[in-house]
Amino acid sequence: MVSESTKFPIKIMTIFLAISLCTAFVFAIYFQDANKSKDDIRMEILQDNSGNMTLSDVKVSDQFVALPGNYSKVGYSPVRLWFKIKINRYNADEINYLTINNPLFEDMTIYLPTSNDYEIKHFGYAYKSNSDEIGYVYPAFKIPPHYDHNQYIYMTSKSLYGQNFIAQLVNDDLFRKTSMINVWAGGILFGVLAALFFYNLVMGLAIKNKTFIKYCFYVFTTLLWNAAMTGLLNITGFKYAYWIVEYSTGIGILMSLAIAIFMRAIFQTKTRFPKIDFCLKLLIAYFPITLLLFFFISKELGAFGAGASSVVFVLYFIIMFKGIKNNTIRSPQLITAWLLCLVSVILFYLMVFGVLPQSYIIIYYLFFLSCASATAFALSLAEIINKLNAEKQHNQVLFENSEIQSRQFELAFIRAQMDPHFVHNTLNVIEGIIAENKEKAGSLVNDLSHYLRNIFDYGNSERFISIHEELDAVKFYVRIEQARFPNKIVVNYEIDSGIQLKVPRFVIQPLVENAIKHGIRKRKIAGTVTIRVKELEHGFLITVEDDGIGIEDADKYKLLEYSPGKGIGLANINARLKAEYGTQLHIVSEKGKGTLVHFDIPIKEQP
């Protein structure tokens, strides 16, 4: 049999291998596609440092630098760039489209040479509804019939989000097929995230768990982010598609905020990783400030501040590394989500820094990784639900067992009150005074009857009684003891007038019994027991005080703990007070001078 300590590394290696094979497969397709089309289009690049170059200036410039093929891997560039494009393979008998695989351009102008002059096309979110591009995922332009493929196409661009793209020439048939593939692929991935969002939203509201709601916030921002990155909304003709692209950096900051909030919840960083939790709280406060800067002051300043988003992922990786190392994170779902996120972050930053162009294959793979990671998180949340249900069932069993133990405890308490020697001695006293004072004997029989009835009528339906009923039970017991020990016991009642209070049964009588039995009766002379019930501002104070022999300090605390073979009266009362009110008995005693026992009943806890 494989041990648990061996199974866990095997699971991690299996997950890692699966993700690696999937990534390798995607890159194999990517390079195959790139090699297939790189000879169709050749490109050169020129930096317009002045920002004032015109098409005429560019056409005569000798500063162009050749690119490896049909793609640009330029990240963020503070200067305007010009591209010179030469189409090597062109069939004038077909309908052709030029596509630029990057929907995040702010301003791009393309000059298509014709037999007469250049036909100028504009696209980018700066143009919004005035863009010349046609309905496609990425910017696409229909090549005019009179296009002169022997000349260069010129293109100038500006973008806050980097100028990585792949230029492709596709015929009408391939254009339509690619559009359909994009619709299906994007629809499926969006459907996965939408289903996860609504399922976990309903689940979170149903079980009132904030972690699920925070997860929904994370999924929603991930949807918005991928909508901007993939350009899928361009196909739908969504009115605000350009707005989403324009503010995609802000959406990215919002997504980082959602990830930070979700991380705190699902990893319980407050208790497990307090230092990381402090950093996450700083970021959660920082991101809204960055958003305000981005939306209302400066996009460049906001985008610069968005660099802190990478800190979230660094903290994420530290959490997972430490959690796996110290065995606090053992969930394969969480580890899968982490590895998928790691791959997506690496690929994204490779594009940001210009190592990879924004190929539609890579962009869709990032979208797929987002969906797979969100699914893994959802499975992890489902695992949390199962654990919660298991804990709930376990707690239910514990509760039922505690109820049984409680009933047994209360039964033992009742039996403890039913002292056979007490009843036997009381009957002997009654027998002795019948001949002398029948009226007094009858009164004692009545008191004993009430005393026994209070014991045997005890039930859960009558757990709480008024303070006056409890004091009546005390008085029945006291009168019996006073009859048994004439001129030995004095009991005073100091009860606030008009007091309205309910207490658990047998919460005062055992205290009085202990005071008489262990305090007063062991004195050689008469003693006094004083019972006080006072209404205070915060609740009620109940006190039983005697001037008996007192208790040794070492024995005071033992009285509140149950131990076999000893009485359970005070221990039972103390446990019930803790369970009902969160309070407990307090014992103040001095050897030879007496004992005071008191407890509080808060007003807000009144039944």
More confident residue, 595 or 227: 595
How confident is the model over 228-241, as a mean pLDDT? 73
pLDDT of residue 419: 58
User: How far apart (Å, rounded) are the C-alpha atoms in residues 417 and 469?
Assistant: 17
Of 15-24, 303-312, 353-362, the poorest mean pLDDT is in 303-312
How confident is the model over 548-567, as a mean pLDDT? 71
- φ/ψ of 485, rounded to 5, equals -125, 80
How confident is the model over 325-353, as a mean pLDDT? 83
pLDDT of residue 355: 80
Per DSSP, the chain holds a count of helices (H) and strands (E) of: 19, 17
pLDDT of residue 281: 92
Q: Residue 2 pLDDT more than 60? A: no
pLDDT of residue 559: 77
Of 275-289, 337-351, 421-435, 474-488, the poorest mean pLDDT is in 421-435
Q: Residue 581 pLDDT more than 90? A: no
User: How far apart (Å, rounded) are the C-alpha atoms in residues 356 and 341?
Assistant: 18
Reported confidence tier of residue 240, pLDDT bands at 50, 70, 90: confident
How confident is the model over 549-555, as a mean pLDDT? 81
pLDDT of residue 258: 92
Angle among Cα 473, 478, 482 to the nearest 5 degrees reads 155
Q: Residue 351 pLDDT more than 70? A: yes
Q: Residue 53 pLDDT more than 60? A: yes
Q: Tens digit of pLDDT for each residue in 361-394?
A: 888 888 888 888 889 888 888 887 777 677 777 7
User: How far apart (Å, rounded) are the C-alpha atoms in residues 10 and 329?
Assistant: 15
* Distant-in-sequence contacts of 139-142, Cβ < 8 A, 24+ apart: 139/99, 139/100, 139/102, 139/103, 139/105, 139/108, 140/97, 140/98, 140/99, 140/100, 140/175, 141/97, 141/98, 141/99, 141/110, 141/112, 142/95, 142/96, 142/97
How confident is the model over 40-63, as a mean pLDDT? 88
Tell me if residue 217 falls in helix, strand or coil: helix
Are 257 and 284 in contact, with CB atoms under 8 Å apart? yes
How confident is the model over 75-104, as a mean pLDDT? 85
pLDDT of residue 598: 92
How confident is the model over 257-272, as a mean pLDDT? 88
Could you give the maximum distance between any two Cα atoms of the chain, in Å?
141
Q: Residue 251 pLDDT more than 70? A: yes
Instruction: Tell the residue number behind the tokens 């950093």, with chain if given.
Output: 279
Are 113 and 98 in contact, with CB atoms under 8 Å apart? no
Tokens of 302: 């906001």
Average pLDDT across the chain, whole number: 81
Among 56-65, 467-476, 501-510, name the most confident range.
56-65
Q: What is the dihedral of CA 31, 37, 42, 47, to 10 degrees?
A: -50
Q: CA 132 → CA 128, 136, 187, 423, distances in Å? A: 10, 12, 25, 104
Q: Tens digit of pLDDT for each residue in 504-519?
A: 877 888 888 888 888 8
* Distance, CA of 607 to chain centre: 34
More confident residue, 458 or 67: 67
User: How far apart (Å, rounded) are the C-alpha atoms in residues 309 and 252?
Assistant: 8
pLDDT of residue 22: 80
What residues contact residue 166 under an 8 Å CB cut-off, 6+ apart?
Answer: 34, 70, 71, 72, 100, 101, 357, 358, 359, 360
Among 164-168, 173-177, 491-495, name the most confident range.
491-495
How confident is the model over 312-326, as a mean pLDDT? 85
Domains of the chain (ranges, CATH numbers): 39-172 (2.60.40.2380), 176-386 (1.20.1070), 418-605 (3.30.565.10)
More confident residue, 514 or 461: 514
Reported confidence tier of residue 1, pLDDT bands at 50, 70, 90: very low
Of 47-51, 405-409, 560-564, 580-584, the poorest mean pLDDT is in 405-409
Reported confidence tier of residue 154, pLDDT bands at 50, 70, 90: very high
Reported confidence tier of residue 543, pLDDT bands at 50, 70, 90: very high
pLDDT of residue 541: 92
- Across 296-410, the runs of DSSP E, i.e. the strands, are none
Reported confidence tier of residue 261, pLDDT bands at 50, 70, 90: very high
What residues contact residue 294 under an 8 Å CB cut-off, 6+ apart?
Answer: 247, 249, 250, 253, 301, 302, 303, 305, 306
Reported confidence tier of residue 33, pLDDT bands at 50, 70, 90: low
Reported confidence tier of residue 460, pLDDT bands at 50, 70, 90: very low
Q: Calculate Rg over the CA atoms of the chain.
A: 41
- Start-to-end C-alpha separation, the chain: 56
